[in-house]
Amino acid sequence: MEINLIEKQQEFLKLLETQGKSFNTVKNYKADLRCFNVFLTDKQQHLKIRAFTAGQVQEYSQYLDQKYDSPNSVRRRVQALRLFFDFLMAQNLFSENPLKKMAVSPKVLDNPEPTAFPEVLKTYQLLRKKVQTTEGLSQIVNSRNLIIFHLIYGAGLKVSDMAKLHFTSILKDQKGFRVMVEHPKRDPYSIPLPSSFNADFQFYKTNYQLLLKKEGLEIEELLFNANPYKILAGGLSPRGTELFFEDLRKNIKSKMTAKSLRQSCIFKWLNQNINHTTIKEWLGVTPSYSLELYLEELKKNPVGKVFKDIQDQE
């Protein structure tokens, strides 16, 4: 039986969406699988296959090594194809995964490139000013953006984690607030937020919920998607967060991304001498995850890697 790769890849990508994978994750898998399709086309092979032989696996490995300089790019494309063939096995279309024995280089971690602290502080001040100088829906959107900043620089959250937060995810304790992060495959954990979050969150929650009541909307998610005229839906996709950072970079002429701001948070925690096990727990990574690259950068340039909680500067 011939397998139509395009049709099965579309089914696979649809499955990833139903599993809650982010827009960017699905988009990356699609691009990785397209790379495989291009390889087959280059080899004058139709996108309908009965099998994928060991020889073809070796050819694909050589093709990736020639096409990409980065070992991580090769790894990602191999992993995407491996998961796709697992999907085909689950449908009894392949008896075994031909990619199972394909050797790839170990993952290479890039040196962290955090947003410098003066830029972090400047961004916070700009976001607060926007909240103070606007009104109506624009003010609520600016207030939401300030909360995004706190969740990344204050608590080191990934954009995919923020997309799933509800108001019940923000917990009150004796010292202020914590954010609860929940994953389907691990126990939930909470991360403390700096005291500068407190007033900004209270303002956001009060005014956002007043607007929802006025518009007759029932939304439980902490963040939301909106156009200039109205709130469209609860929750903010990773792409929505990316658009916020794109606009931010234009305003402050910066290279800041959600990733670089999160790395700034990691250096902040290291400067605060927080236990490495705790940092890994807050980052949602495995105990085997290494902070060595961050520690090496800190040794090279300790002055340039000084990051603090925002309230220390007010």
User: Over the stretch 102-144, which tens digit does the pLDDT of each residue have?
Assistant: 766 555 567 899 999 999 999 999 999 999 999 999 999 999 9
User: How far is residue 61's CA from residue 52's CA, in Å, rounded to a whole number?
Assistant: 13
Tokens 């050797």 identify what position? 103
User: What is the average per-residue pLDDT within 217-238?
Assistant: 92
Give residue 207's pLDDT. 96
**Residue among 260, 259, 276, 268 at smallest CA distance from 298:** 268
Say which residue, 312 or 220, is predicted with more confidence: 220
User: Mean of the per-residue pLDDT values for the chain?
Assistant: 89
User: Which range has the worst mean pLDDT, 58-72, 156-170, 211-225, 237-251?
Assistant: 58-72
Q: Are 210 and 139 in contact (CB under 8 A)?
A: no
Domain residue ranges of the chain, discontinuous segments joined by +: 3-90, 117-313
pLDDT higher than 70, residue 313: no
- The residues near 260 (Cβ < 8 Å, ≥ 6 apart) are 113, 114, 115
Residue 96: strand, helix, or coil: coil
Quote the distance between the C-alpha of residue 5 and its chain's center: 28
Domain 3-90, architecture per CATH? Orthogonal Bundle (1.10)
User: Which range has the worst mean pLDDT, 244-248, 253-257, 265-269?
Assistant: 253-257
Domain 117-313, architecture per CATH? Orthogonal Bundle (1.10)
- What proportion of the chain, given as a percentage, has pLDDT over 70? 96
Give residue 257's pLDDT. 93
Give residue 314's pLDDT. 46
pLDDT higher than 80, residue 176: yes
The pTM of the full predicted model, rounded to 2 decimals, is 0.72
Instruction: Kindly indicate the confidence band of residue 1, based on its pLDDT and cuts at 50, 70 and 90.
Output: low
Q: Which range has highest mean pLDDT (2-11, 89-98, 136-145)?
A: 136-145
Instruction: Kindly indicate the confidence band of residue 49, based on its pLDDT and cuts at 50, 70 and 90.
Output: confident
- What proportion of the chain, given as a percentage, has pLDDT over 90? 56
pLDDT higher than 50, residue 208: yes
